[in-house]
Structure 1
Amino acid sequence: MALIALSVVEQRLDAVRAVLAGASVTEVAAQVGVSRQSVHTWVGRYLSEGVAGLADRSSRPRSCPHQAAQAVERAVLELRREHARWGAKRIRLELLRKPPEYFTGPVPSTSTINRILRRHQLLKERPRKRARDSYIRFERPGPMQLWGIDIVGGITLVNTVTGELREAKIVTGIDDHSRFCVMAAVVERATARSVCLAFAQALAKYGVPEEVITDNGKQFTDRFSRHGPSRGEVLFDKLCRRNGITHRLTAPASPNQNGKVERFHGTFRPEISELGPFTSVTQAQAAVDVWVADYNRERPHQALDDRVPVVPADRFAPAPTSELELWVPPALEVAPPPPAEVPGSDPVPATAQQKATMRREPGGPIELEKSVPPSGNMSLTGHQFWLGPERAGQVIRFWIDRDWVHLSTGGHRFKSVRSRFTAAEMDRLVAQGAAPAGPPPAPSQRQPRHGVVEVERTVSMGGTVSLGRRVILAAWMLGGRKVGIWIEDDAPLLFFDPETRELLRTRPNPLEPGEQWTLQRRKPVGERPRPSTEPITVERRSDNSGGIMVAGQRVALGRQFKHAVVTVHVSESTLAIDLPDGDTKVVRRTTDQAVRNIRTMRPRTAATSIS
């Protein structure tokens, strides 16, 4: 017997006829394999519509009460087509600020706007980014607490004569709390001076923030310069330090640590580049100023609040007027010129900037300040000053002349060394911001004269002496020599010649105040040791070619003086060499390195074999 396949409508019709003939709905539902509700539905449709009512129907509702109205959808699409870079959040904020005239009803949510854009194929699908909770986010609680500063391209300049195109740079700055753009300066080249000039103009306009954060560019730091940190702090660091601003640096290759200004570039650069090219920096700066004014005061910022429109100007406030004057290097010429003196009136006190530009007497002393690096090793024009890592971050004041270098902090002088600075090096420091100095800093008032002790010790062949239970390095070149030691409370140790009382070396004082009275072999205190003004006499043995090396300078004597021992008198500007034939050769000194070896090295002797 052949099986006949019934259609769905025929099966439902058989079930309905069975129910109408008197069968139980439960029994029919069990035979067909559906629910009782389905059988009741089939019976109702058959009675009202006939056999046509048993066909399959769509389950889609005839209406959706929560679907956006046509007017709302039209407003969203108009904004999107007019501004292709706007997303759902921005469109919603704009509808909250300025709803269209034909717009009625509540503003749709961000997800609704996304569905409208996706339905009309106006939403660009992007790959999923990292989860937001995977980032370490921060925001300062108030304005003027942290500025993010960076340099970005995007400005195209065109030469109207040749048609040549070139790219200019923009120095940007964003307030961390309010996202207010405090700086957007167009520059031909992002040099250290142009960056500092834009920064100084922002400081003069809005005040001094507590902190700034930048990347490790050479305009901001010498952290990764090819010369290393020995070249000294850059102008940006000095501008921050002199105005009490903490300069923070991002980790290498970590732009997300300065993410707010980087995100600002994502909005700023595409829009400002569409307005170019520009014929001059002035024209480009005018366009940038108009864009920044709209960004600060008209455009709602999604990071501030994505529910209600908030512009950066609503959360920003300049720093209150400070009693401290803004310090700006004289070369930047940002501050107004000082007022002229009126004859017969009291002189106006000189500002810090005016003091920096005072004329210095030739060879006169200078003063400057510099912060201690983490290594504790400071450098000025190639001269090293070891202070130790424990002083890292302290601001040290240098008092420098041709004889002495005094180091002090908090008005307390803690170290003094012989000066090896030349006149040219001091002039170079003045050009970098050093100021003319007055009298040298006096020792602390806590150091009474009766606290001075003088002892004599013999330097070991390793260059050390023993004071109490401490072994102190004097200088290995003084090995085997008897020296006097001038010991004063909280002052450097002065090593001197007991006969001439000429100063030989200074070293940090490791003794506690008053501990010098417990030392053995104390002597009556004499005249304070004075620096030697006479040339230093050393011995040298010439090499195979008849040359010697003195203070880092090589001098050729001639092959006739091969392996000869000569005496060299080293002064500040010349080297006088007593030759074996009785003649004296004088050459100009070209280095400023200190003499590290007085006696000549013993000649090497060939080993003899024993037969």
Structure 2
Amino acid sequence: MRELSVTEQRYRAVLAVISDGETVSSVAARYGVHRKTVHGWLARYECEGLEGLADRSHRPRSCPHQIDADVEAAIATMRSAHPGWGPRRLVFELARAGVDPVPSESAVYRALVRLNLIDPSGRRRRDRKWKRWERGVPMELWQMDVVGGFVLADGRRAKALTGVDDHSRFCVSAHLMLRESSPNVCDGLAAALRTYGVPGQILTDNGKVFTGRYNRPPVEVLFDRICRENGIEHLHTQPRSPTTTGKIERFHRALRTEFRTDRIFGDLATAQAELDAWVHDYNHNRPHQALDMATPAARFLTGHDAAITPLRPPADTGAAHRPDASRSDGTWVTRRASAVGVVCVSWQQVCLGVAAAGRPIDVWVTESVLQFYDGDQLLRTQKRDSTGEVRVKRSSAPQRRPRVTASVTDQPT
């Protein structure tokens, strides 16, 4: 005996009322449902026929506390332009842009997950064995180090002497040099001392340009001599202990991701000019989460006692992930961008830029937003203005293709 489907059972209940003349109460009692449910089946059958008796989505028509589509699109735009921005920074930028009401950090995080801009499985648990420390006033301690990765057009590679104030995270040195030699490093140190004055202490690792205590026999290098002659106490980390200089290492991460060291500079002077401009923005305009979203300059120039706060895990900088074709909250369609990079979906035109001109673009269509992908690369997230049916001109589950070539010149291997 064949088992009846849900739609067939509902259809028989409707026929029992319409054709056989049974009461709604008796039919509801026989099928074990409420009278309102039977009335609903009758209304759906009258409006839509047999198709109206099929199961429908249980998703609510609206969610009063969900982020507005305009704000969600703004969050996606900010995250795509600044992959290092987490929920806290995004909330700060939305408030600065005048968004009202400002969503919570947890709401922004859920929006990033919903838009496939973060991988929730990639979150790392907080490591509680490290102890947070911070000097109480500016100019008490500088952390300094040397970082590489600056590629010049002639094939040479430059390095930078970097330094931050421990209390304020103010960058006091970002001096580029072609060779990591003791005179070049000390030129950067001397420039920082002339500009900002003499700190009480300087903390470095045990590199040969910083100390000669591991030489046989131990010697005083030029860096040590400058510190001694200026009354600066030179502190060293333990071997293989990079977490001791965690603030300068975190500055290096911001340097790589925000200043973009993965590009080619014309010459050393051009690279230094661009680096100086970025450092000025870092010091005076960029809010710092460890300073309760204040700028380093606000704390360095008007020093106050440090407030000890718990250590936060690093921000997730993972790239966007394509939605799975099996998801039920959206549909994949494919469009080819025009000669000027415009894509049309359901009579809504979106410009992706000339870099996407003529390329096949995969579009993830939901009820509120459109997400445009070139291969695995998310190009743009746009609020959906149209409500009509979206035609699937090509494949409903597009294949991955190579992404649009980035405008930044890649490093030579």
The CA RMSD measured in Å over matched residues stands at 3.5
After TM superposition, the structure 1 = structure 2 runs for residues 7-18 of structure 1, keeping only pairs within 5 Å, are 7-9=5-7, 11=9
Q: 1:246 is matched by which residue type in structure 2?
A: E
- What residue is the counterpart of 1:141 in the other structure? 136
Sequence identity of aligned pairs in percent? 44
Instruction: Tell me, in whole angstroms, the C-alpha distance in 2 between the residues paired with 1:9 and 1:251.
Output: 72
Give 1 or 2: higher strand fraction: 1
The superposition leaves residues 291-348 of structure 1 with CA deviations (integer Å, 9 ceiling, x where unpaired) of: 111110111223322xxx42111111389xxxxxxxxxxxxxxxxxxxxxxxxxxxxx
Q: Which has more radius of gyration?
A: 1
- What residue is the counterpart of 2:172 in the other structure? 182
- Tell me which of 222, 231, 235 is aligned to 1:235: 222
- What residue is the counterpart of 2:96 in the other structure? 97
- What residue is the counterpart of 2:243 in the other structure? 256
Instruction: Tell me, in whole angstroms, the C-alpha distance in 1 between the residues paired with 2:90 and 2:123.
Output: 21
Deviation of 1:171 after TM superposition, in Å, equals 0.6
The superposition leaves residues 34-71 of structure 1 with CA deviations (integer Å, 9 ceiling, x where unpaired) of: 6xxx4344344256556867653321101111222222
After TM superposition, the structure 1 = structure 2 runs for residues 174-573 of structure 1, keeping only pairs within 5 Å, are 174-225=164-215, 227=216, 230-270=217-257, 271-273=259-261, 276-280=264-268, 282-305=269-292, 309-317=293-301
Is the deviation greater in 242-251 or in 142-151?
A: 242-251
Deviation of 1:93 after TM superposition, in Å, equals 2.9
- What residue is the counterpart of 1:131 in the other structure? 126
SS of aligned partner of 1:240: helix
The superposition leaves residues 65-102 of structure 1 with CA deviations (integer Å, 9 ceiling, x where unpaired) of: 12222221232233334445544444333333334xxx
Cα pair distance change 1:218/1:22, threshold 3 Å: closer
Q: TM-score, length-normalised on structure 2?
A: 0.60
SS of aligned partner of 2:235: strand
Question: Is 1:75 the equivalent of 2:59?
Answer: no
Question: Is 1:155 the equivalent of 2:142?
Answer: no
The superposition leaves residues 97-143 of structure 1 with CA deviations (integer Å, 9 ceiling, x where unpaired) of: 334xxxx5223334433444444444467744352434322222322
Q: TM-score, length-normalised on structure 1?
A: 0.42
The superposition leaves residues 170-219 of structure 1 with CA deviations (integer Å, 9 ceiling, x where unpaired) of: 11101122111011111232222322332233223222223221111011
Instruction: Tell me, in whole angstroms, the C-alpha distance in 2 between the residues paired with 1:127 and 1:151.
Output: 30
Instruction: Tell me, in whole angstroms, the C-alpha distance in 1 between the residues paired with 2:150 and 2:240.
Output: 24
**Unaligned residue ranges in structure 1 (runs of 5+):** 159-163, 320-611
Cα pair distance change 1:157/1:21, threshold 3 Å: closer
Cα pair distance change 1:87/1:190, threshold 3 Å: same
Deviation of 1:148 after TM superposition, in Å, equals 1.0
Cα pair distance change 1:20/1:202, threshold 3 Å: same
Q: 2:261 is matched by which residue type in structure 1?
A: S
Cα pair distance change 1:10/1:283, threshold 3 Å: closer
- What residue is the counterpart of 1:59 in the other structure? 58
Is the deviation greater in 46-55 or in 107-116?
A: 46-55
- What residue is the counterpart of 2:155 in the other structure? 165
Deviation of 1:255 after TM superposition, in Å, equals 1.3
- What residue is the counterpart of 1:415 in the other structure? none
Q: 1:190 is matched by which residue type in structure 2?
A: E
**Alpha-carbon contact 2:25-2:35 (below 8 Å) kept:** no
Instruction: Tell me, in whole angstroms, the C-alpha distance in 1 between the residues paired with 2:300 and 2:177.
Output: 26
Deviation of 1:221 after TM superposition, in Å, equals 1.7
More relative contact order in 1 or in 2 (CA 8 Å, sep 6+)?
Answer: 2
Instruction: Tell me, in whole angstroms, the C-alpha distance in 1 between the residues paired with 2:2 and 2:280.
Output: 81
Give 1 or 2: higher helix fraction: 2
The number of residue pairs the alignment matches comes to: 293
Q: 1:8 is matched by which residue type in structure 2?
A: V
The superposition leaves residues 5-51 of structure 1 with CA deviations (integer Å, 9 ceiling, x where unpaired) of: 444356566699799487698xx5xx86x6xxx43443442565568
Instruction: Tell me, in whole angstroms, the C-alpha distance in 2 between the residues paired with 1:318 and 1:47.
Output: 73
- What residue is the counterpart of 1:362 in the other structure? none
- What residue is the counterpart of 2:332 in the other structure? none
The superposition leaves residues 468-502 of structure 1 with CA deviations (integer Å, 9 ceiling, x where unpaired) of: xxxxxxxxxxxxxxxxxxxxxxxxxxxxxxxxxxx
**Alpha-carbon contact 2:78-2:90 (below 8 Å) kept:** yes
The superposition leaves residues 415-436 of structure 1 with CA deviations (integer Å, 9 ceiling, x where unpaired) of: xxxxxxxxxxxxxxxxxxxxxx
**Alpha-carbon contact 2:141-2:201 (below 8 Å) kept:** yes
Deviation of 1:258 after TM superposition, in Å, equals 0.8
**Alpha-carbon contact 2:213-2:220 (below 8 Å) kept:** no
The superposition leaves residues 267-303 of structure 1 with CA deviations (integer Å, 9 ceiling, x where unpaired) of: 21352535642324x3332222111111101112233
Q: 1:310 is matched by which residue type in structure 2?
A: A
Instruction: Tell me, in whole angstroms, the C-alpha distance in 1 between the residues paired with 2:152 and 2:6.
Output: 75
SS of aligned partner of 1:296: helix
**Alpha-carbon contact 1:207-1:318 (below 8 Å) kept:** no
Instruction: Tell me, in whole angstroms, the C-alpha distance in 1 between the residues paired with 2:22 and 2:200.
Output: 86
The superposition leaves residues 435-494 of structure 1 with CA deviations (integer Å, 9 ceiling, x where unpaired) of: xxxxxxxxxxxxxxxxxxxxxxxxxxxxxxxxxxxxxxxxxxxxxxxxxxxxxxxxxxxx
- What residue is the counterpart of 2:356 in the other structure? none
Instruction: Tell me, in whole angstroms, the C-alpha distance in 2 between the residues paired with 1:71 and 1:128.
Output: 27
Q: 1:153 is matched by which residue type in structure 2?
A: G
Q: 2:6 is matched by which residue type in structure 1?
A: V
- What residue is the counterpart of 2:34 in the other structure? 39
**Alpha-carbon contact 1:144-1:318 (below 8 Å) kept:** no
Instruction: Tell me, in whole angstroms, the C-alpha distance in 1 between the residues paired with 2:165 and 2:43.
Output: 72
**Alpha-carbon contact 2:150-2:262 (below 8 Å) kept:** no
Instruction: Tell me, in whole angstroms, the C-alpha distance in 1 between the residues paired with 2:113 and 2:43.
Output: 41
**Alpha-carbon contact 1:147-1:212 (below 8 Å) kept:** yes
Deviation of 1:167 after TM superposition, in Å, equals 1.2
- What residue is the counterpart of 1:526 in the other structure? none
- What residue is the counterpart of 1:461 in the other structure? none
The superposition leaves residues 583-611 of structure 1 with CA deviations (integer Å, 9 ceiling, x where unpaired) of: xxxxxxxxxxxxxxxxxxxxxxxxxxxxx
**Alpha-carbon contact 1:185-1:198 (below 8 Å) kept:** yes
Cα pair distance change 1:277/1:57, threshold 3 Å: closer
Deviation of 1:264 after TM superposition, in Å, equals 0.8
SS of aligned partner of 1:303: helix
